[in-house]
C-alpha cells in the first residue's frame, strides 16, 4: 500500500533578525531589533500519486528542504495545507511518523561511535518491528546496498558513501511507504552515487513506495524521476516531465561535429549558433524543427567527418530555468 502527497498553496515565511556588522550593529540589534521577512516557500501546490518518484530541483536556498520539512510535519506552514499518506503532517502524530522516512543528506541519525547495526536495532525497537520482519528487511537491504562488510564497523570509520548507505538502511527498516530524501548523494563519489540511485529505484519498484527526492545533482534526477518539480526563490516554476522541460525551455538541438580541413568558425555560423569550436570538433545549436534540414545542408556543403544530434545537457536547461530565462515557465508554466 503506497501513499500519496498533496500540497495546496504551501507557504512559509520566516522572520529573521537583521544585524549590522560590528559592535554598534550588535548593540543596535539588542535595543531595536530589525526583522526581515524571508519568503522561503510561496504558494506551492502539487500532487504526487502513490508510487511516483518525483525529483525536487532547485538551487541552494530555493525552498526544497523547507517544503520537505513541512511535508514531514517538522515545520508549520504560514498558510496552505498538505496531506501526506492521508494524514495532516502537523497533527498526524506517531502513526503518521511511522509511515515515512526522512533522510537528510547533511544530518545523520546513525550513532557515531557504534557500528550501524546498533542504530538498526534501536530503530527496530522504536518502530516496533517484529524480529521476522526485521531480519527479512535487513537481509534485503544488506544485499541491495552491499553492506555485508560495514555492519560491524563503527560509523566513524566508514566512508561517506558507506555511511549514506547505512543511513538509508536505518531509515527504511520499517518499510516506509513514503521516502523523503534530501540530498542523499551529497558529497559522494560517482560510484556511491550510482549505488544509491540504483537502490532508490529498486526500492520504489519493489515496494511501490512514493519518493520525493531533492538534489542539485541532475544525474540523480534524470536517473530516477520521470517527473520533476522545479523551485526557485520559494516559487514552483515547473511541474512536469523532465523531457518536456527541455523542449519548453530550450527548444533547440545540438549538432556535434567533427569537421575536415578548411572549415572555419565563420563558415559554421551560417548554419546555426556556434556554441563551441575546437577544431576538428564543433558544436552547433539549431532550432529543433530545423535540425534535419541543417544536418543535410552541413553534410552537403562542408567536409564533415562525423555528425551527431543531441538534446542540450539537462543541467544547462535547468540552469536557464533557475536564471529566470524561461519567463514562459512562470506564466502558467506549472502543469495542472
Partner 1 sequence: MSLRDWARRYAALMRAGWLVDLQYRAAIVLWLILGVAQPLLMLAIWWGVAGTDEVQGYDRAAFARYFFALMFVDQLTLAWDVWYIDRWIREGEINFRLARPLNPIHEAIADNLAYKGKTGLAMAVVWLAVAAVWPAVRLPFEPGRWALAALAIALAAAIRFLTSYVTGLLAFWTTRATALYELHWGISLFLSGRIAPLSLLPPGVSAVAAVLWFPYMLAFPVEVLTGTVATTEELVRGFAWQLAWLALWSLAYRLVWRQGLKRYGAVGG
| By the rule CB under 8 A, 235 interacts with partner 1 | no
Closest distance of CB 121 from partner 1, Å: 6
Give the separation between CA 241 and CA 221, rounded to whole angstroms. Answer: 11
| By the rule CB under 8 A, 125 interacts with partner 1 | yes
Q: Which of 41, 62, 124, 252 binds partner 1 (CB under 8 A)?
A: 124
CA dihedral 297, 302, 308, 310 (to 10 degrees): -60
- DSSP lists the bridge partners of residue 180 as 102, 212
Q: Residue 97: CB partners within 8 Å, gap ≥ 6?
A: 73
Q: How far does CA 31 lie from the centroid of its chain?
A: 42
**The one segment of 55-63, 120-128, 269-277, 310-318 that binds partner 1 by CB under 8 A:** 120-128
Q: Which of 44, 57, 104, 230 binds partner 1 (CB under 8 A)?
A: 104
Q: Which of 18, 26, 27, 74 binds partner 1 (CB under 8 A)?
A: 74
> Residue 296's CB: how many other CB atoms inside 10 A?
10
Closest distance of CB 66 from partner 1, Å: 7
| By the rule CB under 8 A, 35 interacts with partner 1 | no
Closest distance of CB 3 from partner 1, Å: 16
CB 214 within 8 A of CB 40: no
Q: What residues between 137 and 156 interact with partner 1 by CB under 8 A?
A: 154
Closest distance of CB 328 from partner 1, Å: 33
Closest distance of CB 180 from partner 1, Å: 9
Closest distance of CB 26 from partner 1, Å: 13
Closest distance of CB 214 from partner 1, Å: 14
Binding mask 83-102 for partner 1 (x = CB under 8 A): -------x--xxx-xx-xxx
Give the separation between CA 180 and CA 161, rounded to whole angstroms. Answer: 18
- Residue with smaller CB distance to partner 1, 97 or 216: 97
Q: Which of 122, 151, 158, 223 binds partner 1 (CB under 8 A)?
A: 122
Q: Which of 76, 135, 205, 276 binds partner 1 (CB under 8 A)?
A: 76
| By the rule CB under 8 A, 118 interacts with partner 1 | yes
- Residue with smaller CB distance to partner 1, 79 or 308: 79
| By the rule CB under 8 A, 127 interacts with partner 1 | yes
Q: What residues between 153 and 172 interact with partner 1 by CB under 8 A?
A: 154
Closest distance of CB 6 from partner 1, Å: 19
Q: Which residues contact partner 1 (rule: CB under 8 A)?
A: 14-15, 66, 69, 72-76, 90, 93-95, 97-98, 100-102, 104, 106-109, 111, 113-114, 118-119, 121-128, 154
Amino acid at each position: 500500500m503506497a501513499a500519496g502527497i498533496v500540497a495546496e498553496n504551501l507557504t512559509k515565511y520566516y522572520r529573521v533578525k537583521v544585524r549590522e556588522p560590528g559592535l554598534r550593529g550588535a548593540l543596535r540589534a539588542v535595543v531595536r531589533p530589525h526583522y526581515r521577512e524571508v519568503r522561503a516557500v510561496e504558494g506551492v501546490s502539487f500532487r504526487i500519486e502513490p508510487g511516483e518518484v518525483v525529483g525536487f530541483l532547485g538551487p541552494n536556498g530555493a525552498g526544497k528542504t523547507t517544503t520537505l520539512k513541512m511535508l514531514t510535519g517538522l515545520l508549520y506552514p504560514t498558510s496552505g495545507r498538505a496531506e501526506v499518506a492521508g494524514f495532516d503532517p502537523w497533527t498526524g502524530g506517531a502513526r503518521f511518523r511511522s509511515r515515512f522516512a526522512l533522510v537528510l543528506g547533511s544530518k545523520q541519525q546513525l550513532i557515531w561511535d557504534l557500528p550501524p547495526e546498533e542504530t538498526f536495532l534501536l530503530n527496530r525497537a522504536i518502530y516496533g518491528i517484529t524480529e521476522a520482519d526485521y531480519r527479512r528487511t535487513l537481509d534485503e537491504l544488506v544485499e541491495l546496498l552491499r553492506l555485508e562488510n560495514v555492519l560491524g564497523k563503527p560509523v566513524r570509520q566508514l566512508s561517506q558513501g558507506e555511511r549514506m548507505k547505512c543511513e538509508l538502511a536505518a531509515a527504511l527498516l520499517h518499510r516506509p511507504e513514503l521516502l523523503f530524501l534530501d540530498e542523499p548523494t551529497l558529497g559522494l563519489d560517482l560510484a556511491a552515487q550510482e549505488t544509491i540511485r540504483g537502490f532508490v529505484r529498486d526500492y520504489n519498484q519493489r515496494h511501490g513506495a512514493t519518493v520525493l527526492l531533492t538534489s542539485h545533482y541532475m544525474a540523480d534526477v534524470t536517473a530516477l524521476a520521470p517527473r520533476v518539480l522545479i523551485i526557485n526563490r520559494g516559487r514552483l516554476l515547473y511541474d512536469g516531465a523532465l523531457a518536456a522541460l527541455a523542449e519548453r525551455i530550450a527548444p533547440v538541438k545540438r549538432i556535434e561535429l567533427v569537421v575536415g580541413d578548411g572549415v572555419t568558425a565563420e563558415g559554421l555560423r551560417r548554419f546555426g549558433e556556434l556554441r563551441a569550436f575546437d577544431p576538428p570538433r564543433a558544436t552547433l545549436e539549431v532550432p529543433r524543427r530545423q535540425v534535419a534540414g541543417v544536418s543535410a545542408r552541413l553534410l552537403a556543403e562542408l567536409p564533415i567527418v562525423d555528425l551527431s544530434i543531441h538534446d542540450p545537457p539537462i543541467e544547462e536547461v535547468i540552469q536557464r530555468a533557475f536564471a529566470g530565462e524561461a519567463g514562459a515557465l512562470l506564466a502558467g508554466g506549472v502543469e495542472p
